[in-house]
Amino acid sequence: MYSVVERDLEIDLVLSPGHRVPVPARLHYRAEDPYAVRISFHVTSDEPVNWTFGRELLTEGLRRASGTGDVRVWPARSGGRSVVCVGLTSPDGEALLQAPAEEVAGWLAGTLRLVPLGAERERLGLDEGLRELLAQGA
């Protein structure tokens, strides 16, 4: 059985300065994929839009600007509250999202209790899998 940490929250899709659209989203973490986090956005399509990226990137992004590729994360203030900004880039376009920093940090703390930073490799079971594979060839 694998452990999962999820949180539903409302994030803002920033369309322009002063113009935001609330978007229902779900943060998702599975101990069986310990390096990754997933954000699912429930937009107008039948299926949610999913973005998967490194948990460490999100952890760093709560404190300082992180990421240089398709996903960038940084802390900010908006409307008097602390937010975490997520910039997404794809061939289809770009999006800027803002989520309540406290809610993201609380969810992230749950993932870290499940699998602490630095313990991800142990959860993958690579060493056991390699031993089994080598034992089959012997």
d(CA 100, CA 104): 6
pTM (2 d.p.): 0.83
Determine the pLDDT at residue 64: 97
Determine the pLDDT at residue 125: 62
- Report the phi/psi class of residue 118: left, alpha or beta, with left for phi > 0 and alpha for psi in -120 to 50: left
In the block, which residue shows the tokens 């059985």?
1
Per-residue pLDDT of the chain (138 residues; tens, 9 = 90+): 469 999 999 999 999 888 999 999 999 999 999 999 999 987 777 888 899 999 999 999 999 999 988 999 999 998 899 999 999 998 988 999 999 999 999 999 999 999 998 878 776 665 565 666 677 766
